């Protein structure tokens, strides 16, 4: 769990940096987060409200969806949150606003930071945009070696039209 202690937090802007293990955000089960995460928090306290701008940075070990080669991708994601003890400001529709007690000594940032990290991971994981992938016949990695498979396949329905070209 990753908790931010706010008991002695004074009004104003504060910056804090943390290097944490993936286990602190319950990210070990995902298999992507093998190295520590850097979390930079810009905290602004104004009365009963605490605004937090969080930035997460971490290298992730991914497998390319096209060529099945491992590669490193840099997670670099920002998220803004509001923690307030004012029930009128805590709107159920806004997922980045959280209600806290006036007497709270700490804020648990585990869930919002975990969700931010997981949602930032690309659904289509490519080692690079121009990745050629694997040959569907022989399995050769087309990025590193040419394929000797015969590529030309003609649909028999086009044969009549092809004869018109000759």
CA atoms within 13 A on the CB side of 81: 25
Q: Is 37 exposed, middle or buried (0-12, 13-18, 19+ CB in 10 A)?
A: buried
129 — phi, psi (to 5°)?
Answer: -60, -35
Q: Output the six-digit token pair for 15.
A: 């910056």
Mean pLDDT of the chain: 87
Distance CA(86)–CA(90), nearest Å, equals 7
CA atoms within 13 A on the CB side of 119: 9
101 — phi, psi (to 5°)?
Answer: -80, 150
Q: For the segment 39-90, what is each residue's pLDDT rounded down to a tens digit?
A: 999 999 998 889 999 999 999 999 999 999 999 999 999 999 999 888 777 7
Distance CA(77)–CA(156), nearest Å, equals 51
Per-residue model confidence (pLDDT) at position 74: 94
- For the chain, the domains span 3-131, 133-166
Q: For the segment 92-102, what is each residue's pLDDT rounded down to a tens digit?
A: 667 788 888 87
> Could you tell me the pTM of the whole model?
0.77
């Amino acid at each position: 769990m990753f908790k931010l202690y706010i008991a002695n937090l004074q009004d104003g802007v504060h910056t804090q940096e943390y290097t944490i293990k993936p286990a602190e955000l319950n990210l070990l089960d995902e298999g992507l987060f093998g190295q520590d995460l850097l979390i930079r928090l810009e905290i602004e306290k104004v009365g009963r409200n605490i605004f937090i701008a969080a930035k997460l940075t971490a290298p992730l070990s991914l497998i390319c969806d096209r060529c099945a080669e491992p590669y490193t991708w840099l997670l670099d994601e920002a998220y803004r949150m509001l923690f307030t003890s004012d029930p009128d400001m805590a709107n159920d529709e806004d997922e980045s606003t959280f209600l806290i007690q006036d007497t709270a000594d700490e804020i648990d940032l585990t869930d919002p930071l975990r969700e931010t990290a997981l949602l930032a991971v690309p659904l289509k994981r490519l080692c690079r945009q121009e990745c050629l992938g694997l040959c569907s016949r022989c399995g050769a990695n087309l990025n590193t070696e040419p394929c000797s498979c015969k590529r030309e396949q003609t649909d028999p329905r086009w044969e009549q039209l092809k004869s018109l070209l000759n």
